Amino acid sequence: MSKKHEVPEVDIVIDEEAGVIREVKPEKTRSKKGHERRVNTSIYVILILMSIIWLAPFFFLVFQSFRSYATESGGMVDYLLPKQWSLDNYKWLLESQESNFLRWYGNTLIIAIFSAAIQTIMVLSVSYALSRLRFRGRKLIMNVVLVLGMFPGFLTMITLYFLLKQLGLTQTGAIPGLILIYVASSGMGYYISKGFFDTIPKSLDESARIDGATRFQVFKKIIMPLAKPIVIYTILMAFMAPWGDYVFASYVAFGSEPNYNVAVGLYRWVNVADYQGYFTRFCAGGVLVAVPITALFLALQKYYVEGVTGGAVKG
Amino acid sequence: MKKLFSLMLACIMLLSLCSFAMADGYSGELKIWVAEAVVDFTQQQVEAFKALHPEYADMTVVIQPVGEGDAATNMITDVEAGADLFAFAQDQLSRLVAAGAVEEVEPSNAEVVKAENDPGSVGAVMMGDTMYAYPMTSDNGYFLYYDKSVVTDPSTLEQILADCEAAGKSFYMEINSGWYQTAFFFGAGCELTFDSNDEGQLIGMNASYASEEGVKALKAMIDLHKSPAFVNGSSISNATNIGAIVDGTWDATAAKEVFGDNYATAKLPTVAGFQMGGFGGFKMLGVKPQTDDDKLAACDALAAYLTSEEVQLARYNAVGWGPSNLNAQKNEAVQADEALSALAEQLAFCAPQGQYPNDYWSLATALGDDVIGGKLDDADDAALLEVLKGFEATCEGYLSK
Amino acid sequence: MTDLEYLKLSKPAKMGYKTRKFFAALPKKLVGVCKKLGQGIIHAGAGFIRGCKDTVQTFRTGDWKTKLSFLVMGFGSFARGQWGRGLLFFLFQTVFNIFMFMPNAQFSGCYYLGKLSTLGTVETYKEGRRTVYGDNSFFILLYGVLTLFFIVAFIYTWYVNVKQNRLSEMILKSGHKLKSTKEDVSALMDSQFHKTLLALPTLGVTIFTILPILFMILVAFTNFDATHQPPSKLFTWVGWDNFRQLLSTDTSSYGNTFSQVLLWTLIWAFFATFLNYFLGMLVAIMINKKGIKLKKMWRTILVMTIAIPQFVSLLYVSKMFAADGLINSYLMKWGWISSPLPFWTNPTWARVTVIVINVWIGIPYLMLIATGILMNIPADLYESARIDGANAFQMYKKITLPYMLFVTGPYLLTSFTGNINNFNVIFLLSQGKPLSLELSGNAGYTDLLITWLYKMTVNDTNYKLAAVMGILVFVVTAVINLIVYNMIPSVKNEEDFQ
């Protein structure tokens, strides 16, 4: 709001029935402003309380990650701040011979990069085709995808495992195997970017077509440059997903520890009884995973918001 | 006559040794799954085995850390990708046999196992009359670790709870586990065992949970849950405020760390006037069914070696796991071990763990969760008896038809 | 009821009337859906018959090139100079023949097809101590289904090949030229661009989604479980037995448990969707209110729960709420409680706890969505409302809420079905616990159908029941979708958005 045109907000009231502009009594304005201030104060209180609730677990996690497993206690404790701050957990994760953490981290990074790249191509192809091109079977494809989407994801886990195994992509081959699985059916997640393509005016394509451009050229030269937000959104989502996948990653890689992803590796430290005193190392590992992902996410937040709002509105 | 017999026996042994030595050996890959804690130990022992048996010197052995809990599930999911030798706790045996994921023990090895290991562990590796695994430890039981400065007298549960409450500390016991729960039921005098056949099926049940003793045990569990000091759990490094904990030998190191100078162990206490009992369980080593005779021979030999007297003793020295081998049990160091002797004291009140249907464990968790969730807090004896009757009936439903 | 009578009704009565009317119309709607389905089938059948007739006709009237194409696919195209198409057809036929009639029986399609009716008969046996594996029911079923796929694809391709000949003949007769291979290739970047775009995704979805789903649907009719586990044991067809075990209510079956878990799944999905929806909207309104500073900071703080991988945050939060976790420990240290609060042990507490923690995860999403939409609401709407003397709540009720509901209707639907399958939150927080003797089959009070399905697959390797469960989840989701799709007009016509 620019200062120049600022009009006192509620000082006047247009009374349509009477056809006159009435001035509101000054006392009322003041009380209203007081009311406004009270409302804002309570909103601030609520927001501050919420921020505490939202951030507390992450701060706790960070605190615990600085409690040394070697000199204090690596397990769970009933106090928050470490008695002595130390980097032992991080050192162990990054330097110890016993730790596979860097390996897992690298695995996950590879999976994330490849699946982000290929998945983006798949999703964009499908959504562009379904949004801009008209061909026989288009409706059928959309309906089939809708129906397939209603089956729960883990139903087919055992089948996928054995399909991958036939290709030699389980256990030691788990990393390419996981990429394949993440990517293969990713075209089904076309909704959001199709919704985006739908909003680009069709006249753009048509005028280019009249100028003699092929559909591929239209896709490459006209649509893609406009689709930057949705491309970034798709890449972001595809890149983030593998970091949190425990269920399928553990199913495909079982037994072969060097081929775990971070989620599988770290999850075991909390939930498998063989790992006594690994809790603080889990926390440190969690921090190391969360920090870059969070930073990336916050940096690209804008595109994420565009994606989810677009998706929500388009359905 | 006796001489002749022993001569014959010696001949046979010599012959079998010869045939052993003449075996082709095996030079392919062999995969082993053991718990994280013994990966390095197993690696060393495999090297020792290779040095002892030159015909297997070229064999590549891969050791992967797969916990005893996961091993069976993974073996069943995909036996081909599973390990050739895998360690597991005995509650998994019936599942593994039923799914065809574990090979019978080689007959001559079976004779040796029977002769050299304690009877409980031998019973634990049998399904019907067939032996399916090599006993590795005989320490899968539980007892009490406690903090000397908190608990004044570990002989009754009531006193332990009172001490913990007074000190603001917690008493940990995983009463929603079918394994720890039997401390109450078996201690009160109930029975729950299953009869198995050679195919890994459970065909009969002997149960007396739905009885006066059963009600007594269940009431003791409910009383325990009502104490503000009680926390359900058995993992020492996940426990935050321990006064005392019912746990096994595998957590001995962690317990020493947590309790420091106040570390102490004891058999389980008495509760409501009866001595708590429970399971004496075992860890064992299984061999995967093999399509190659040479590989199978290699597996047999290595499994026998890894569960032999020397290796069991070495394993005790390395990680503190109590041996199932009778000679190893007599070893001085083993005899002197504080945790193991508390366990031994407790095992006197325990039944060796036999075969249980897989569903039993989740049913017992359900019973424990009902207790912990407070569902049975106000139930009278008749209602508790009904609960136990239902429990028994459901167990019976798990039998193979 | 006339319009006037309707208008006279009180609000709850109106609601009741509408609901009754909706359910009264439901059978009709279902009949409508079935009719449409029936029409579709008839349509497809008619198409099939037409195709057959055309094929016969083509054979009768076609020249020798066309006739030979019935046997050797792509021959006609070759002979008419379209070697690119011809080569593709021919290659496909060759691959198909090799696959079906491979000399090594273990790998040929015919072998698996032949065994499909029994799923294998040769048991695993011992030769000495060596194990000789028999038939593998799993692969027989999997490759059997794959072979069927291949055969259908072959028949279709063969039909296209015949049709191609007919069209080519017609084009040539009319004096036009056929497309050269070069033209065919460049068409893939232009008029046939959709084929280029969709080829790979379709292949991926067919092999890694459709094939596995069909496979699992078939597994629901077998006895594939822990005691019938290939390669050591065979499994075979058992008809509807598994459905009976999961749905019937006698003591050894899971019917009662299933209905309880289903009910909780729906309750959970309801709260997870609508609680998050309204709270998220509320938070968005608060942050966007005029006069609130640092808008970006508040948003960024809340968004942290989206950014941090859930297996870190939820696992940690789950431990925080444990009986001896941080929350209970501190409450006890401060003397507020004397014994731990049963967050994860009491069924009701556990259910409420997962819903509340899910709010922690869910509010930020909705806040972001709502922020975007709120900004789009024309400001003059509020202005005039304010002038009419409406207070904040009235404006919310009359403007914000209807607008939001209108715009996000489809989102609510997808979010509801998404929450039915919200695996992560339950799995990482409570793992379905607590269990109870009142529930059977390892299900707990916070288990959703999907987490129960996971337990059956991974912990119990009870694939047959997991498959049935998967089918039932599909049915539930489909029914909800059908009902809601019929209620929200805006999702029906996707072209409207363009």
- Secondary structure string (H, E, C) spanning B19-43: HHHHCCCCCCEEEEEECHHHHHHHH
Residue B363 shares a structural domain with residue B225:
yes
Which residues are within 8 A (CB) of A146 and not within 5 positions of it... i.e. 6 or more apart? none
Fold of C255-497: MetI-like fold (1.10.3720)
| Whether residue B63 is found in the same domain as residue B104 | yes
Statement to judge: residues B310 and B374 lie in one domain: no
Q: How far apart are CA B63 and CA B300, in angstroms?
A: 16
Q: In chain A, whose CA is at the least distance from the CA of B35? A: A274
- Judged against a pLDDT cut of 50, whether residue A4 lies above it is answered with no
Give B7 to chain C, closest Cα distance, Å.
29
pLDDT at A33 over 80: no
Model confidence at B8, pLDDT cuts 50, 70, 90, reads: low
Q: Is A268 helix (H, G, I), strand (E, B) or coil?
A: helix
Is the same domain home to B158 and B223? Answer: yes
Determine the distance from the C-alpha atom of residue B284 to the mean position of all C-alpha atoms in its chain, rounded to a whole number.
Answer: 8
For the four alpha carbons of C180, C186, C190 and C195, in that order, the dihedral sign comes to positive
Using the beta-carbon criterion (under 8 Å), do B240 and C435 form an inter-chain contact? Answer: no
Put simply, the answer to whether B237 touches A75 (Cβ < 8 Å) is yes
- For residue B322, what is the domain's CATH number? 3.40.190.10
pLDDT value, residue B200: 78
Residue type for B396, please?
A: E
Name every chain A residue with its beta carbon within 8 A of the beta carbon of C182: none
* Residue carrying the six token digits 């400001």: C379
Does A258 sit behind a cis peptide bond, omega within 30 degrees of 0 on the bond before it? Answer: no
- Residue B14 falls within a domain, yes or no? no
Smallest Cα distance from C242 to chain B, Å = 16
Q: What is the structure's pLDDT at B9?
A: 53
Report the C-alpha gap between A181 and A161 in whole angstroms. 10
Q: Are residues B211 and B332 in the same domain?
A: no
Angle at CA of residue B92, ends B86 and B94, nearest 5°: 115
Q: Using the beta-carbon criterion (under 8 Å), do C345 and B99 form an inter-chain contact?
A: no
pLDDT in tens, chain C (498 residues): 666 777 777 766 776 776 777 677 777 777 887 888 899 899 989 988 998 898 888 888 888 888 888 888 988 888 888 888 899 999 999 999 988 887 776 778 888 888 999 998 999 998 888 899 999 999 999 999 999 999 999 999 999 999 888 888 889 889 888 888 888 888 888 888 999 999 999 999 999 999 999 999 999 999 999 889 989 999 999 999 999 989 888 777 899 999 999 999 999 999 999 999 999 999 998 998 888 888 889 999 999 898 899 989 999 999 999 988 899 999 988 989 888 899 999 999 999 999 999 999 999 988 988 888 888 788 888 888 888 888 878 888 888 888 888 778 778 888 898 899 999 999 999 999 899 999 988 999 999 999 999 999 988 889 999 999 999 999 999 988 887 776 655 444 444 433
Q: C302 near A54, Cβ under 8 Å?
A: yes
- Rounded to 5 degrees, φ, ψ at B64 are -120, 140
Same domain, B163 and B311: no
Whether the CB of C261 is below 8 Å from some CB of chain A: the reply is no
Residues B257, A277: C-beta atoms closer than 8 Å: yes
Q: Which two tokens stand for residue B370?
A: 């009902």
pLDDT number for residue A39: 87
* Nearest residue, CB atoms, B228 vs list C329, C339, C458: C339
CA C49 to chain centre: 32
Examine residue B135 and state whether it is found in any structural domain, yes or no: yes
Q: Which of B69, B236, B241 sits opposite A276 (nearest CB)?
A: B236
pLDDT (tens digit per residue) in B313-350: 999 998 888 899 999 998 888 888 888 888 888 888 88
CB-nearest partner of C437 from B293, B370, B372: B370
Q: Which residues of B touch C252 (CB under 8 A)?
A: 397
Q: Would you state the pLDDT for residue C2?
A: 65
Number of separate domains in chain B: 2
Query: What is the per-residue burial (b if ≥16 Cβ within 10 Å, else e) of B124-159?
Result: bbbbbebbbbbbbbbbbbbbbbbbeebbeebeebbe
Chain A to chain B, count of Cβ pairs less than 8 Å apart?
72
Q: Give how far B352 is from chain A: nearest CA, Å.
A: 23
- Interfacial C residues in 135-164 facing A (CB < 8 Å): 138-139, 142
Pair B181, B228 in one domain: yes
Mean pLDDT of B242-257: 88
Same domain? For B133 and B249 the reply is no
Residues B160 and B263 reside in one and the same domain: yes
Round to whole Å and give the CA distance between C36 and C340: 58
Interface mutation vs chain B, best among C129, C318, C352, most B CBs within 10 Å: C129
Whether residues B234 and B107 fall in one domain: no
Asked if the structure places residue B1 within a domain, the reply is: no
Rg of chain A taking only CA atoms, in angstroms: 27
Q: Where are the domains of chain C?
A: 1-52, 62-216, 255-497
Rounded to 5°, the CA angle A304-A308-A312 comes to 170
CB interface of A with B, residues 67-126, below 8 Å: 73-78
B-proximal residues of C, 115-154, CB under 8 Å: 124, 128-133
The mean pLDDT of chain A is 86
**What are the chain B neighbours of C129 within 8 Å (beta carbons)?**
103-104, 106, 293, 296
CA distance A294 to chain C (A): 5
For residues B147-168, average pLDDT: 93
- For the record, the structure tokens of A218 come out as 């239209």
Burial classification of residue A18, based on how many CB atoms lie within 10 Å of its CB (0-12 exposed, 13-18 middle, 19 or more buried)? exposed
Chains that touch A (3 or more CB pairs under 8 A): B, C
CA nearest to C138 within chain B: B78
Contact C366, A309 (CB under 8 A): no
* Domain termination residue (choose one: B340, B365, B386): B340
Average pLDDT, chain B: 88
- Contact between chains at C190 and A293 (C-beta distance less than 8 A): no
Please give the sequence-ordered ranges of beta strands (E in DSSP) within chain A, or none if there are none.
12-15, 20-23
What does the pLDDT average to over B348-367? 89
Residue B68, domain extent: 25-140+281-340
Among C361, C369, C364, C304, smallest CA distance to A296 is for C304
User: Does the structure show a pLDDT above 50 at A143?
Assistant: yes
Contacts of A308 in chain C (CB under 8 A): 365, 368-369, 372
* Amino acid A12: pLDDT: 47
Of C200, C211, C316, nearest to A122 by CB-CB distance is C200
Q: Is the torsion defined by CA of A256, A257, A259, A261 positive or negative? A: positive
Cα–Cα distance measured from residue C465 to residue B330, given in angstroms and rounded to the nearest whole number? 49
pLDDT of residue A205: 86
What amino acid occupies position C374?
A: L
* Mean pLDDT of the region B23-29: 78
Question: Once rounded to an integer, what is the mean pLDDT over residues A31-56?
Answer: 89
Give the type of residue at B78: D
Tokens of B271: 């509760």
H or E stretch covering A136: none
Closest CB from B69, B80, B237 relative to A276: B237
| pLDDT tens figures, C111-158 | 888 899 999 899 999 888 889 999 999 999 999 999 999 999 999 999
Share of chain A above pLDDT 70, in %: 88
Question: How far is Cα A290 from Cα C26, in angstroms, rounded to an integer?
Answer: 48
Q: Is the pLDDT of residue A18 over 60?
A: no
DSSP class of B138? E
| Interatomic CA distance for residues C113 and C106, integer angstroms | 11
Tokens at C91, concatenated: 């290659």
What tokens were used for B109? 């090895």
- In whole angstroms, what is the distance from residue A278 CA to residue A64 CA? 11
Does some domain include residue B7?
A: no
Nearest to B80 among C231, C435, C439 (CB): C231
